[in-house]
Structure 1
Amino acid sequence: MHDDVFAAQPAEIIPFLKRVLPFSELDDATLAALARTCTIDFQPKGTRLLTQGKTTVEHLLIIQRGGVKLYLMQEQGEDRLVDYRGEGGIVGALGIIRNAPASLTADTIEDTFVFRMPAAEFRRLVETHPAVSRHFLKNLSEHYVSRAFSELRRQHADLCADSPLTLFSTRLGDIVHREPLAIESGRSVRDAAAIMMAEGIGSLLVTAPDGSPAGIVTDKDLRRAVAEGEDPAAPVEFIMSAPLVTASHRDMCFDALLSMMARQIHHLAVLREGRVTGMVTSHDIMVLQGRSPVSLFREIVAQRTLEGLHPLSQKVPLVVGSLIEEGAKAGNITRMITVLNDLILEKLLTMLQDRMGPPPVPFCWMLMGSEGRREQTFHTDQDNALIHGDPADAEEAARAEAYFAAFSAEAIEHLGRCGYPPCPGGMMASNPQWRMPFARFRDFFEGMLILPEPREVLNATIFFDFRPGYGHTELGEALRRHVTAHASREGVFLRHLARDCLAARPPLSFFRSFIVEKDGEHKDTLDLKTRGLVPFVDFARLFALRHAIAETNTLDRLHLLAEGGHIAADLASEAAEAYEFLMQLRLVHQMRQIREGREPDNRVRPDALSELEKKTLKEAFTVISGLQGFIRDVFRLNVA
């Protein structure tokens, strides 16, 4: 390790520890005593902090600034990244608690400052403070870690693009392996502990007299009961967690994991046809693959300043990179990027609203374009709008305009600092044209539908993909319902939109050669977005509006169109497969550019692709011709 170790001033470390779990639960005197034992250490980027199986962990490391990656070194094949830890992250706890060598290898990925706490002090803290012991027993149990490592080793050999065992394509029902065990209300805490120990499980359902689930008792509840001196003979419902939090067996594991983190729980009851058929824990889900977005999620949630949010979006590619390498489908990757981006937006607007005070009227921050479709990649401009409640009078209207003008201007500025560049066309909430009351927004959309001009049709390609992003989402949902109901009845508008869908021709010559730029800075490249992806997005939007489908995501639109019998199932399937391939190619291209330190774009060189990629790309472009032919037939467009 690096030798730049200095004594840390308690005045410097105490405020920091007050923001970091579980130290934030300690009293001031304990924190002050603990701070006096700590030193501060600077570790340059690329420093090895721990080596799995070798390093004796002599200090608990608490990251003050910077980042550390934790990974499993494997005898064969590439190392497996397990986690990323940023500000407030803790490294080395498991080794100290187990009094064993490090279980993972830890390297700094940027210049990093850490507070170093002697192992003996940390061990004493765990032994004397129940809040600290509960925290680390929950997160670092030997049983969990051994299971996680076992899964990682197994999956390294068989994980591929088509494997169902991925965080973003596995449904909860697929990982439920046994019926849940239950205990009747009225039985004792001691009985619950005995059953859980005998069965080797971490939770029990608690049933009401009629047999319905009343709550859940977990190992955490038992530890809290012991720490608080609860009578072991007390009825189990005295310590259970209620109401029972449930999820459908059809829910994706990623959604369930985010739900658990947001609620700060670690168990979900899985429902099938209204009946609890199993229990799933956050640990069960996290071992599905080697890297999880949990750490970045926690870092975003824990952030307390607007300025602290600014660098976090730059860490999204670090989390997403392993998914791309492991072959996760593009639809799942963009969905995960969207969830993380949405979380940053939510934190940013919440803190901004706390700073400015409550708005005069309810509002909804709307996301449009690729953000509205949940199809963001690593290069996404801002496309947003702000809709607010209709003011009661002129005075309230003036106050609303002043508030939202300042609010949106500052929000756009901070989003820019977070790495989301402003829209070149000014389609942002800071523009008064895209910030207005509900009634005016409703009239705006109706005017676009009734009297479609070329400019309105162009706006439609961005605005008709909107979704509520933050705030009083009912405003956005009400507008979506209104637009969905009206658009399907406006034949002239839909016909204009259909003509616009034919403008982007697939970049293939008569002899099926790629049509690329002939000269200039983009020579020998083609734009995957405008020439490849846009025709699929346009097609799905057109027919979703025609058939009053409110969904905005392209793949989901195609699925619903086929499910409703509006387009042939084989056409929808071909379109979805081609679209996902193009999106995958775009993501891989952008990820490579990011790792090379370049700004991500949408331009690829066909001659740099493999023969298989070239062939598949040509097939994807051919599907565009089929979609455009279908549009001509449905709308009777005699366009050559």
Structure 2
Amino acid sequence: MVNSSDVFTAQAAELVPFLEKTLPFSDLPEAELNALASECAIDFYPKGTRLLTQNETIIEDVLVVRSGAIKLTLIQDQGEEKPIDYRGEGQAVGALGAIRDAPASLSAETIEDTFCFKIPAVLFRKVVAAHPALAQYYLHSFSESYIAKAFSELRRQHADLCATSPLYLFASRVGDIVKRAPMMIANGRSIREAAQIMNNKNIGSLLVTDPSGEATGIVTDKDLRRAVAEGESTDAPVEFIMSSPLATVPHREPCFDALLKMMSAQIHHLAVTRHGEVQGMITSHDIMLIQGRSPVSLFREIMTVRDIAGLYPLSQKVPVTVGSLIEEGAKAGNITRMITVMNDLILEKLLNMLQDEMGPPPVPFCWILMGSEGRKEQTFHTDQDNALVYRDPVGEDEARAAKDYFARFTEAAIAHLVQCGYPLCPGEMMASNPKWRQPFTICRDYFERMILRPEPAEVLNATIFFDFRPGYGQLSLGQSLRKHVTLHAARESVFLRYLAKDCMTARTPLSFFRGFIVEKNGEHKDRLDLKKSGLVPFVDFGRLFALKHKITETNTLDRLELLKERGHVAPDLIVEAVEAYEFLMQLRLVHQMTQINNGQQPDNHVNPADLSDLEKQTLKEAFGVIGGLQSFTKDVFRLNVG
């Protein structure tokens, strides 16, 4: 320790600005920051100074690093000290011991000349008692309150990306916009009577009830038009033309979720239920009225296109339509879900029209979506990753016909998707590649071989293929393949161990001193890759443990929640992982939206210098969670043994 002459009182003029941009002190009122600064000192510690000794040192001061670096170590059973963390500028040493009024839980030593602000432990405890959020910050490595602040700052700083008028898709509940009680008609009544009621009441739908009075279906003005066009007798019972079962949504659901449900099912009416009873009806038009620029308008454009070329410009409207959700308060999971719905609609429309041009296929097929498409995690920059599986042909003639048809079909489909703005996969993992266009049995056997004889290249392929979901066509083919692969993989411990080892290869872009490691030169100089360095480890972890525990879900956030619900992974670790993943994805989406608005091609490379202090700190915490996931993986698969 240095002589007392080396210690001098920290001037508030220097300390206050420093704490104002340092978590968690940045959350304190200015008056309290000034009061805190007046009682702090600054001290210098040469390289190699022992600051704390585990289980021995009584915490008298909390040290906040002004410059330099400190190594934290843990004394193991054999007496060996193992480095477990490094603290750099703005980070604290001794906070937990001060909060608990207990001896140091770790040892600490400077690894370079270091200046620290010293906050007396007694004073620190008083501040913590008055502001519990400070204790939460130090007691939880990834605090929900600071994640929320980081999300708010992202929205505030990048509000120009979004519509200037307030949006209500997330604030409004469907029950709040129901205008009237639902109008009903009993089954057995005629189509003519239904039309008369709808005309007299000036409404666009009627619920059809069974003898007990329960609503079992719906008749809309579209159903009436179709009945007339098809020559249906107006004396026929109304249930002849109704849609059943009735699509419903609970009254407390956000309007956003109701909108997604309507768009995914390609319907325009939902019955709103309260305690199991139908309260009223909500339409896509109702949702359009509560906000200015609705995704419904793009949905309608997609659905009314009459030729494939008409789809080409529509994918370019997705960022404009979906970007406004950022300001509304949507987290990344909601935004990517909306992007996925839009892209799925474009794909479905394209493949329908392509079949109209080419005629029906010789055998049923399923278009398979892989990678981020399969996980429903598409952003504004997504390559194509797809495949096609078709029913096993019967006989050589049917096999030849299927091979020829699907070769032409997939080549045309992929070319049209490129015109729609979805780039080719550099690795040719697309349905136009004969390898990824096969009968069901061949696809099934290929996945089995990948699992039974895992090679490094196959493990790389597995990170793309094992996230697949059925996207179009005879979905049961894709669902059967999904179930088979999931159950088969869970039984093969060698294959899972290969995947687990692959999870350990990720290196977070943080130095020992928790500085960002960025590209030193090249096209992305001074930037870091949010996808490769940040998001991929979470995706890999979710996939690995989903396969291990026979979970067929492919979305990363859904996988993590199911792992928590079923008790396979500690809840605290999952909560941290979900928060970290959401923040990284949010940062990625905002970055890409900014590039699009600036006329640039969206990518995943962010310059940390462009981030606020809060965003930088939250990003570091998000990267830090990856270590916890890797430690858990290492323990479960015993990767430190042989």
TM-score normalised by structure 1 residue count = 0.67
**Shift, 1:479, TM fit:** 0.2
Q: Residues 398-456 of structure 1: CA distance to partner in whole angstroms, max 9, x if unpaired? A: 22111111111111111111111110011111111111111011110111111110011
Amino acid corresponding to residue 242 of structure 1 in structure 2: M
Are the aligned partners of 1:185 and 1:237 in contact in 2 as well (CA < 8 Å)? yes
Shift of 1:516: 0.7
Aligned length: 475
Find the structure with the greater CA-based Rg.
2
Q: Residues 349-368 of structure 1, C-alpha deviation per residue, up to 9 Å, x if partnerless?
A: 11111111111111111010
| Shift in alpha-carbon separation, 1:287–1:623, aligned structure 2, 3 A | farther
State the Cα distance separating 1:634 from its structure 2 match: 0.7
Aligned to 2:107: none
CA distance in 1, matches of 2:404, 2:194: 62
Distance 1:371-1:204 versus aligned 2 partners, 3 A rule: closer
SS of alignment partner, residue 516 of structure 2: coil
Paired residues for 1:22-37 under 5 Å: none
* Structure 2: gaps spanning 5 or more residues: 1-158, 228-233
1:516 is matched with which residue: 503, 518, 532?
Answer: 518
Q: Distance in 1 between matches of 2:367 and 2:357?
A: 17
Distance 1:80 1:607 in 2: 23
- Counterpart of 1:356 in structure 2: which amino acid? M
Alignment-derived partner of residue 452 in structure 1: 454
Change (3 A) 1:186 1:495: closer
Retained in 2: the 8 A contact 1:80–1:290?
no
> Is 1:333 paired with 2:339?
no
Counterpart CA distance in 2 for 1:79 and 1:575 is 27
The CA distance in 2 between the partners of 1:432 and 1:587, in whole Å, is 34
Greater shift in the superposed pair: 455-464 or 511-520: 511-520
User: 1:342-361 residue pairs with structure 2 within 5 A?
Assistant: 342-361=344-363
Match of 1:430 among 432, 443, 456: 432
- The reply to whether residue 242 of structure 1 matches residue 242 of structure 2 is yes
1:565 aligns with 2:567: yes
> What displacement does 1:316 show?
0.8
Q: Distance in 2 between matches of 1:531 and 1:508?
A: 10
Alignment of 1:467-546 (within 5 A): 467-546=469-548
Which residue does 1:211 correspond to in 2? 213
Structure 2 SS opposite 1:246: coil
Preserved contact between residue 364 and residue 468 of structure 1 (Cα < 8 Å): yes
1:617 is aligned, of 612, 616, 619, to: 619
Say if 1:196 and 1:314 are closer, same or farther in 2 by CA, change over 3 A: closer
Match of 2:171 in 1: 165
Q: Which moved more, 1:450-459 or 1:349-358?
A: 349-358
Native 8 Å contact 1:183 1:192 kept in 2? no
Matched letter for residue 379 of structure 1: H
**CA gap 1:639/1:612 in 2 versus in 1, 3 angstroms:** farther
202 and 307 in structure 1: CA distance in 2 versus 1, 3 angstrom threshold? closer
Q: Report deviation, 1:267.
A: 3.3
2:607 aligned with 1:592, yes or no? no
Higher RCO (C-alpha 8 Å, min separation 6)? 2
How far has the Cα of 1:283 moved from its partner? 3.3
Q: Per the alignment, in what secondary structure is the counterpart of residue 387 of structure 2?
A: strand
TM-superposition CA deviations, 1:67-108 (whole Å, max 9, x none): xxxxxxxxxx999959xxxxxxxxxxxxxxxxxxxxxxxxxx
Distance verdict in 2 for CA 1:235–1:361, change over 3 Å:
closer
Cα deviation for residue 217 of structure 1 reads 7.1
The Cα offsets for residues 209-242 of structure 1, whole Å up to 9 and x where unpaired, read as 43222655779999999xxxxxxxx999769973
Structure 2 residue aligned with 1:100: none
Q: What code does the residue aligned with 2:371 have?
A: G
1:587/1:205 Cα in 2 relative to 1: closer, same or farther (>3 Å)?
Answer: same
**Residue in 1 that maps onto 2:299:** 297
> Unpaired runs of 5+ in structure 1?
1-76, 83-151, 226-233
Aligned with 1:405 (options 404, 407, 416): 407
* Corresponding letter in the other structure for 1:466: F
Residue 247 of structure 2 aligns to a residue in which SS?
Answer: strand
User: What is the CA deviation profile of residues 190-218 of structure 1, one whole-angstrom value per residue up to 9, with x for unaligned ones?
Assistant: 999999999x9876645444322265577
In the alignment, the residues of structure 2 paired with residue 214 and residue 500 of structure 1 have an alpha-carbon distance, to the nearest angstrom, of 51
Partners in 1 of 2:394 and 2:224 — Cα distance?
Answer: 53
Q: Where do 1:60-459 residues align within 5 Å? A: 155=166, 164-165=170-171, 172=174, 180=182, 182=184, 205=207, 207-213=209-215, 242-243=242-243, 246-250=246-250, 253-254=255-256, 256-257=258-259, 260=262, 266-271=268-273, 275-459=277-461
Q: Deviations over 1:465-518 (max 9, x none)?
A: 001111111111110010111111110000000000111111111111111111
Query: 1:582 is matched with which residue?
Result: 584
Q: Deviations along 1:116-157, whole A, 9 cap, x unmatched?
A: xxxxxxxxxxxxxxxxxxxxxxxxxxxxxxxxxxxx7xx56x
Letter in 1 for 2:304: A
Aligned mate of 1:632, from 628, 631, 634? 634
CA distance in 2, matches of 1:223, 1:309: 27
Question: Aligned pair 1:462/2:464, yes or no?
Answer: yes
Quote the Cα distance in structure 1 between the aligned partners of 2:281 and 2:628: 46
| Counterparts in 2 of 1:184 and 1:381: CA distance versus 1, 3 Å | closer
Instruction: Work out whether residues 338 and 371 of structure 1, in 8 Å CA contact, stay in contact via their aligned partners in 2.
Output: yes
SS of match in other structure, 2:400: helix
Distance 1:268 1:478 in 2: 30
**How far apart are the structure 1 equivalents of 2:398 and 2:182?**
55
Q: Matched residue of 1:382: which SS?
A: coil
Contact 2:332 2:583 in 1 (8 A): yes
CA–CA distance in structure 2, aligned partners of residues 385 and 355 of structure 1: 21
Code of the residue aligned with 1:607 in structure 2: it is A
Structure 1 range deviating more: 451-460 or 261-270: 261-270
Q: What secondary structure is seen at the aligned counterpart in 2 of 1:249? A: strand
Q: 1:511 to 1:367 in 2, by over 3 A?
A: same
Q: What per-residue deviation string (whole Å, max 9, x for no partner) do you get for residues 166-196 of structure 1?
A: 6xxx6x5676687646566799999999999
> 1:541 deviation in Å?
0.4
Contact 1:245 1:269 in 2 (8 A): no
Displacement after TM superposition at 1:608 (Å): 0.8
Q: Is the 8 A contact 1:206 1:240 kept in 2?
A: no
Q: Once the 2 structures are TM-superposed, how far is the Cα of residue 554 of structure 1 from its aligned partner?
A: 0.4
Paired amino acid for 2:569: I
Task: After superposing the two structures, state which structure 1 stretch, 261-270 or 541-550, moved more.
Answer: 261-270
Q: CA 1:462 to 1:217, structure 2 compared with 1: closer, same or farther past 3 Å?
A: closer
Cα distance in 2 for residues equivalent to 1:540 and 1:633: 16
Q: Distance in 2 between matches of 1:388 and 1:194?
A: 47
> Which range is displaced more, 187-196 or 409-418?
187-196
The letter for the 1-side match of 2:535 is L
TM-score (norm 2): 0.67
Q: Distance in 1 between matches of 2:442 and 2:220?
A: 51
CA distance change for structure 1 residues 254 and 78 in 2, over 3 Å: closer, same or farther? closer
Question: Deviations for 1:511-552, whole angstroms, at most 9, x for unmatched residues?
Answer: 111111112221110000000000000000000000000000
Aligned CA-pair RMSD: 3.6
The answer on whether the counterparts of 1:365 and 1:470 sit within 8 Å (CA) in structure 2 is: yes
Q: How far apart are the structure 2 equivalents of 1:592 and 1:195?
A: 47
